């Protein structure tokens, strides 16, 4: 779904008391920040990071995206101006603006939800939006002592049961296949391993829309007829992606924001672009949703 917005802004024609007014001097603007409300006070504090790629929308349909510091700036907006009939009466330049919820992480709460501002003649108005991100409790995957290793010799290799501990309610995929996950979060998946180094990607998805990405190496050595040594290495976290909605929750079509957390310098690739994680350890990646199922093909490339 695409929107094409064409605006024609015409400065108000002023007669009577100010016949020589310069339209540029009358230009007004709305500016502010959209921040990660880490302390939950509903305000953007000086130390709270901004959110990149959040869409701020006026009631007229005009919109702007925040920059890497979470800043936005709407220029040339309608402001209070003298009535065209003259006199001291002013026509109010009131504007209603809000944050497009599709462009913030899933279950984020915005304060205020929307704001009405009155723009003075030839001046600027500041309006911040504080976003309280979901505090869903999800943990890293870990080995589980309750799931002992299981292996079965197959032609050309072994079938090995990869297991570990996720968070309750997680869905887990190992090497592209769905794992069995019990109510406590213990997951198991049988995968085929070949002699040598086997690098498996493991994805854990929470009910709230948090997707954690890991990889785990398994070294396999054949020691004799029917005898194999399998050495699992430690789970390595690659990053985390916050989707714009939780599992099973509807989300409107259009451009949304994927909040990606990873090591600085990690490259995030989608079929239509590439983004790099900055020193803050995260990046907002725009993604366009269409009506019906949407497949997110996202690739993380760690630096070095």
Q: State yes or no: cis peptide before 101, omega within 30 of 0.
A: no
Host domain of residue 275: 252-304
CATH number of the domain enclosing 220? 2.60.40
- Whether 47 and 83 map to the same domain: the answer is yes
Kindly write down the DSSP assignment for every residue of 139-174, as one continuous string.
---B--TTS---EEEETTEEEEEEEEE--TT-EEEE
- Whether 231 and 276 map to the same domain: the answer is no
Which pLDDT score, from 0 to 100, does residue 18 have? Answer: 33
- Whether 121 and 147 map to the same domain: the answer is no
Q: What is the pTM of this model?
A: 0.64
Gap between the terminal Cα atoms of the chain: 38
Q: Which two tokens stand for residue 164?
A: 């570990």
Domain end call among 103, 132, 161: 132
| Alpha carbon distance 237, 246 (integer Å) | 21
Which pLDDT score, from 0 to 100, does residue 239 have? Answer: 92
CB proximity list for 298: less than 8 A, separation 6 or greater: 241, 258, 260, 268, 269, 270, 285
Domain end call among 132, 167, 190: 132
- Whether 128 and 34 map to the same domain: the answer is yes
Q: Which two tokens stand for residue 39?
A: 């302390």
Give the sign of the dihedral formed by CA 140, CA 145, CA 146, CA 149: positive
Which pLDDT score, from 0 to 100, does residue 272 have? Answer: 85
Q: Is residue 23 part of a domain?
A: no
Which pLDDT score, from 0 to 100, does residue 93 have? Answer: 78
Q: How many domains does the chain have?
A: 3
Mean pLDDT by 10 residues, the chain (304 residues): 22 31 61 91 90 90 90 86 57 84 81 90 89 73 80 83 92 94 93 94 90 93 84 91 81 80 92 89 85 84 84
- Whether 277 and 199 map to the same domain: the answer is no
């Amino acid at each position: 779904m695409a929107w094409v917005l064409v605006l024609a802004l015409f400065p108000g024609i002023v007669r009577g008391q100010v016949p020589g007014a310069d339209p540029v001097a009358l230009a007004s603007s709305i500016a502010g920040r959209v921040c990660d409300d880490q302390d939950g006070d509903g305000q953007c504090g000086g130390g709270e990071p901004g959110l990149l790629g959040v869409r701020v929308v006026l009631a007229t349909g005009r919109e702007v995206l925040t920059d890497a510091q979470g800043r936005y700036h709407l220029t040339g907006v309608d402001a209070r101006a003298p009535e065209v009939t003259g006199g001291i009466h002013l026509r109010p330049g009131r504007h209603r603006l809000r944050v497009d919820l599709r462009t913030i992480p899933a279950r984020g709460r915005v304060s205020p939800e929307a704001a009405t501002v009155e723009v003075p003649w030839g001046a600027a108005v500041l309006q911040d939006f504080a976003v309280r991100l979901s505090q869903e409790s999800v943990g890293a995957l870990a080995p589980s002592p309750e799931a002992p290793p299981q292996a079965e010799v197959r032609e050309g290799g072994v079938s090995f049961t990869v297991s570990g501990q996720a968070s309750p309610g997680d869905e887990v995929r190992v090497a592209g296949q769905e794992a069995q996950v019990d109510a406590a979060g213990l997951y198991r998946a049988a995968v085929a391993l070949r002699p040598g180094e086997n690098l498996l990607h493991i994805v854990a998805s929470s009910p709230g829309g948090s997707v954690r990405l890991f990889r785990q190496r398994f070294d396999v050595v054949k020691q004799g007829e029917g005898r194999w040594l399998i050495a699992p290495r430690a789970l390595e976290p690659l990053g985390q992606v916050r989707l714009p909605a939780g599992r099973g929750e509807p989300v409107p079509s259009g451009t949304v924001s994927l909040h990606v957390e990873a090591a600085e310098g990690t490259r995030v690739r989608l079929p239509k672009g590439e983004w790099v994680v900055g020193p803050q350890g995260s990046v907002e990646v725009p993604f366009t949703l269409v009506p019906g199922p949407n497949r997110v093909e996202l690739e993380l490339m760690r630096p070095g």
